[in-house]
Amino acid sequence: MRPATAASCAGRGNLVANPCRYGERMIAIAPPEIEDKRRRFPGSFSVAVLASVLLVFLASIGLAMGLFLLSANDIDRSGLDTQTQRVAHALAIQLQQLPREQSSVTIWDDAVRAIADGDNGWLDSNIGSWMYEYFQHDISLIYTKGAIAPALAWDEGSQVELSALADDYPPLRPLVEELRMLASRGYADTPPQISDFVDLPTGPALVSLTPVVTDSGRLAVRAGDEPVLVSIVNLDLDYELRLIDKYLVDAGRFTTEPPTNHEANLPVTNRAGRIVTFFQWEAYRPGELMLRSTAPALVGVILLVSGMLTVLLIGLWRSSRALEGRRNEAERLANQDALTGLPNRLSFEAQFQRALDAPRRSSLGLLMLDLDRFKQVNDTLGHQAGDTLIRSMAFRLSALLRPGEVIGRLGGDEFALMARRRRTELQALATEIIESVRLPFRLEGTDAFVGVSIGVVVLEADETDQLDIMRRADIALYEAKASGRNRAVFYDGAMDERVQGRHRIEAELREALASTDQLWVAYQPLFRADSSRPVGAEALVRWKHPRLGQVPPAEFIGVAETSGLIEALGEYVLRETCRMGARWPGRSFAVNVSAAQFRHPGFGAHVLDVLHDAGMQAQDLELEITESILLDEQAAVVENLRTLHLANVRLAIDDFGTGYSSLNYLRRYPVDRIKIDRSFVAQVADIGSSRPIVEAMVRLTDALGIEVTAEGVETREQFERLREMGCTTFQGYLFGAPLRAEELERLWAPSGVAQVA
Ligand code: C2E
Ligand code: CA
Ligand code: CA
C-alpha cells in the first residue's frame, strides 16, 4: 500500500542523534495546549509540597505559642487571685485587729476615772502616746458622754488642739452615735465595737470605735453614756509600708487613681458596701516571668528549627525541581522529534485526535508528505547533509502554517500536516509547499534539488477515525508518487478500489511466480533498416492468469516493483531470455530491468552468473533501463554499471525522451542504445509533430556513437519518416508483435527470413 519508506530513511539513526538547530523556533510552533501544559507544570508540585510543609510548620509554631501564652496567662490569673485573696485577708484582719488593740486600754477603771477626772497627764501617757507608739494609731480621740465632738485628741502620739482636727469629726459623728445606740441596748462583759473604712477629709482611713468601760464593775455608768475612744489609722504610706512588711504584699498603695497595666486592684469597701478607696499593688505575674525567662530560649529553638527546616525545604525544593525538570524533559523528548523539534508521530497523532474530537471543529485537512529523492541526497552528500535537509524542510513547512495547524515528523523524510482549511485552500497550501520545496537547499556547499509528494485528505465534518484518515492520506500519497512525484493528489474513493486491486494482483502474482504455467516470456523482434536480417528481440513478460486471463504488464509490473516481487519476476525473465540467447549467439536479446532491481548491490554480478549458467555470450545481452536510474548516481547503480560494462553487457535507455531533459548521463555512462519512446514515434508522421525533437535526439546520439531504436512503429509512414531522420533500428507491430519463443525461432529459421511488410 505505501512505498517502502523505511528504505528511504537510512539516515534516521544518525538524524536523531544530532542536536536541533531550529529547536527554539520549532517549539514556538507547538500548539497552545502543549505550550500551556509546559508552562503550568514546572514547580507546581514543589510549590504545593513546600507550601503545605511551611503552613504546617507555621501553624504548629502558632499553636505552641498560643498554648504557651494561654497557660502563662492562666498562671498569672491564678497568681493574681491568690494575691487578691491575701490582700483582702490582710485588710479584713486589720479591721479586726484595731478594736482588739483598743480593748487593751478601754476596759480599765483607771481610764474611766482619768476621763471623768480630766487627768490629761495619765490619758496622754496611757492612751494618746501609748496607742501611737505601741500600735501606730495615727489619731486617737476621746468623746465624753453625749458629746458630738471629741474632748481630747492625739495626732501621732502628741495631744493637739481640737480645732486642728475639726474637719475630721463630722464623718465620725454617725459612727459615734451608732456605737452609743448599740451600747445603750446593753451588753454583758464586752461592750460593742465598730470598725470600718472611712473616707476622711485627710484621706481614707481605718477607724475603730470602742466605749471606755470599767474592768472591776465598780465604775459602771449607764449603758450608752460611756466615753468613746476613736482610733484612726490613715491608709497612707506609713500604713502601706506596714502592710507590705507584715503581709508580704508587693508594693501596695491605697489610691483612687485608675490602676496601670501591671497593677492589681482591690476595691476597699465600708460596711455599707461603698467603695472607700482601692488597694493597688504591683501584681506578681509568674506566667509572664516564665515567658520572659524562657522566651529567648524559645525564640532560639524556633529559629534553629526554622533554619533546619529551611535548609531541608531548600533541598527538597531543589531536588523536586530537578525531578520535575527531568520529567518535563523526558515528556518533551517523548513528544518531540529530536532532529527538527517538531512533534513526533506520537505527539502529532495525539494532537490530531484532539482536533478530531473537538466539539465544534473548523474545516480540517490532512496532508501526508514524503520527500522525493531524499535517499539520493543522503547517499551522495552524506547523512549530515540529509539531516540539514530535513531540518530545513521542517523550517520551510512550519513557515506555511496558520495558528492551530500542526506539522509533525513521522520519521525519515515523512511529514504530516493537519491544516484547518477548506478544500480550495488545501489545494493552495499543497501548491505552496511544492513551490517552497522546489527551491534549492544549500547542503555541503552545493545546491540540492528535491521534490515533495503529497497525499491530501479533505475531512468530513463528523469524521473522527484517525487511522482511516491516515490510511487514505497514505493511499493518496502513493498515487502522487506513482503518478510521477512532486505533486499533490487528493484522495478519492476510486483509489481504494485501485489499492484493493493492487493487493489482489500482488497475491495472485505471488502465486503465479510459484506456479510453472502462468508466466512466460514473449519476444518482440528488432529490425535494422539497412538489412532484412533480424538483429534481435526484446523480452517482454507475459502473464496468463487462469481466471483473469491475460494480465498486461502495465497492471502488475508496478505492483511487483513496490511489493518486492520484481526481483523474482526479473530473474525469471532474465533466465528464460538467457536460455534463448544461448541458442542464438550473435543475436541481441534485450531484457527490461526495473530501477528497484538495478539499485540492488550485486545485481551486475548476478546477471553475469545467470549468463554463465545459461551459456549465453555477455555481448548478446542488452539491459533496458530508464533514465531515472542513471540520474540517481547511487553507489550501487554505478558499481552495477561498471561490472556489466566490463563484461560487455550492453545498455539501452528505454522510453527515451519521457523523463528528464538533462542528457549529461549519456556522456558519463557507457550507453549503447536509446529507444525513442512510442509517444514520439506515434506523432512523427503528423504536421507540427514531434519531428524536431526526434531529429535532435538522433543528432545527439549520432555524435556520441549511440545507436537509436524507434519503438512502437505501427505504420509504414512512421517507418519512412524515422528512417529519413536517421533511426537505424526499429521495433513495432509493423515489423512484428511480441511472439512466443517457438514462433520467434520459426521466424528466425534460415527459411523464414523476415520481410518488411
Ligand atoms: P516497454 O519496455 O516500452 O515495452 C514495449 C511495449 O510496447 C510492450 O508492451 C509491447 O508489447 C508494446 N509494443 C510493441 N510494439 C508496439 C506497437 O507497434 N504499438 C504499441 N502500441 N505497442 C507496442 P508490454 O509488453 O505491454 O509491456 C509494457 C511495459 O512493461 C514495457 O514497456 C516494460 O516497461 C514493462 N515490461 C514488460 N516486460 C517486462 C519485464 O520482463 N521486466 C520489466 N522490468 N518490465 C517489463
Ligand atoms: Ca523495453
Ligand atoms: Ca519502451
Output the CA 538–ligand 2 centroid distance in Å.
7
Cα of 476 vs centre of ligand 1, distance in Å, is: 27
Residue 47: inside a domain? no
From ligand 1's centre to the CA of 683, what distance in Å? 18
Number of folded domains in the chain? 3
Closest approach atom of ligand 1 to CA 731: 15
Q: What is the mean pLDDT of residues 598-611?
A: 96
Owner of C-alpha cell 538467457: 578
CA of 389 to the centre of ligand 1 (A): 38
The Cα-based distances of 709 to 270, 652, 672 in angstroms read 148, 9, 11
The rounded distance, in Å, linking the Cα atoms of 332 and 655 is 50
pTM listed for this prediction: 0.55
Asked if 363 and 477 sit in the same domain, the reply is yes
Question: What is the whole-number distance in angstroms between the Cα of residue 477 and the centre of ligand 3?
Answer: 26
Tell whether 705 is covered by a domain.
yes
- Shortest-distance atom of ligand 1 to CA 553: 30
| Same-domain status, 211 and 344 | no
Beta-sheet pairing, 275-282 with 621-625: unpaired
Please tell me the distance from the alpha carbon of residue 576 to that of residue 585, in angstroms, as a whole number: 15
**Contact 240/233 with Cβ under 8 angstroms?**
no
Q: What is the pLDDT of residue 236?
A: 84
**What CATH number corresponds to the domain at position 259?**
3.30.450
CA dist 677 and 629 (Å) reads: 17
- Residue 31's pLDDT band (boundaries 50, 70, 90)? very low
Look at ligand 1, atom 15, and give the residue with the nearest C-alpha.
Answer: 732
Q: What are the pLDDT digits (tens) for 186-218?
A: 888 788 999 999 988 888 999 999 999 998 888
Beta strands 673-676 and 707-710 are parallel
Residue 617: inside a domain: yes
Same domain, 575 and 436: no
Residue 36 pLDDT class (50, 70, 90 cuts) = very low
Q: Is the domain of 277 the same as that of 133?
A: yes
Q: Can you give the length of the chain in residues? A: 757
Q: Which residues of 29-53 are buried (b: 16+ CB within 10 A; e: fewer)?
A: bbbeebeeeeeeeeeeebeeebeee
Mean local confidence (pLDDT), 33-37: 39
Q: Are residues 590 and 735 in the same domain?
A: yes
pLDDT of residue 90: 82
Q: Specify the residue with its C-alpha closest to ligand 1, atom 43.
A: 592
264 and 175 within one domain: yes
Q: Is residue 87 part of a domain?
A: no
Kindly state whether residues 245 and 157 are assigned to the same domain. Answer: yes
Q: Which helix (H) or strand (E) holds 372?
A: strand 365-372
Say how far apart CA 72 and CA 75 lie, in whole Å.
5
Give 553 Cα–ligand 1 centroid separation in angstroms: 7
Q: What is the pLDDT of residue 32?
A: 35
CATH number, residue 659: 3.20.20.450
Residue 724 placed within a domain: yes
Give yes or no: residues 615 and 740 share one domain: yes
| Short-list 707, 666, 690, CA closest to 529 | 707
Q: Taking 70 as the threshold, does the pLDDT of residue 752 lie above it?
A: no
**pLDDT confidence of residue 661:** 54
Q: Identify the weakest region by mean pLDDT among 232-241, 333-342, 449-458.
A: 232-241
Pocket test for ligand 1, best of 520, 526, 527, 540 (most atoms within 8 A of CB): 540
The answer on pLDDT for 258 being more than 80 is no
Atom of ligand 1 nearest to the CA of 624: 2
472 and 602: one domain?
no
Residues 6+ apart with CB under 8 A from 724: none
| pLDDT tens readout for residues 657-699 | 876 656 778 888 899 999 999 999 999 888 777 888 888 889 8
Domain that holds residue 405: 336-491
Cβ contacts of 558-563, under 8 Å, gap ≥ 24: 558/482, 558/502, 559/502, 559/505, 559/506, 559/509, 560/506, 560/509, 560/594, 561/594, 561/595, 561/596, 562/3, 562/4, 562/502, 563/506, 563/509
- Shared domain for 482 and 351, answered yes or no, is yes
The answer to whether position 556 is within a domain reads: no
Which of 281, 299, 320 is the C-terminal boundary of a domain?
A: 281
CATH of the domain at 379: 3.30.70.270
Report if residue 486 sits inside a domain: yes
Q: Indicate the residue among 265, 281, 297 that finishes a domain.
A: 281
Question: In the chain, pLDDT over 90 holds for what percent of residues?
Answer: 55
Say yes or no: 413 and 265 in one domain: no
Question: Which one of the ligands is nearest to 538 CA?
Answer: 2
Coil, helix or strand for 459? coil
Terminal Cα-to-Cα distance of the chain (whole angstroms): 45
The residue whose CA is least distant from atom 23 of ligand 1 is 712
Does residue 697 lie within any of the structural domains?
yes
- Which of 569, 529, 537, 534 has the alpha carbon at shortest distance from 553? 569
Give, to the nearest 10 degrees, the angle between helix 374-381 and helix 383-398: 140
Mean pLDDT of 66-73: 90
Are 575 and 614 a contacting pair, CB within 8 Å? Answer: yes
DSSP labels for 514-567? HSSSSEEEEEEEEEETT-SSEEEEEEEEEEEETTTEEE-HHHHHHHHHHHTTHH
> Last residue of a domain, which of 491, 526, 548?
491
Query: Can you tell me the distance from the alpha carbon of 215 to that of 108, in angstroms, rounded to the nearest whole number?
Result: 5
> Residue 97: enclosing H or E segment and its boundaries?
helix 44-106
C-alpha–C-alpha distance, residues 137 and 238, integer Å: 11
CA dist 618 and 622 (Å) reads 8
Amino acid at the residue 602: G
- pLDDT band at residue 612, thresholds of 50, 70 and 90? very high
Q: Residues near ligand 1 with C-beta < 6 Å?
A: 524, 539-541, 552-554, 557, 570, 573, 592-594, 624, 654-655, 678, 711-714, 732-733, 738
- Residues 272 and 352 reside in one and the same domain: no
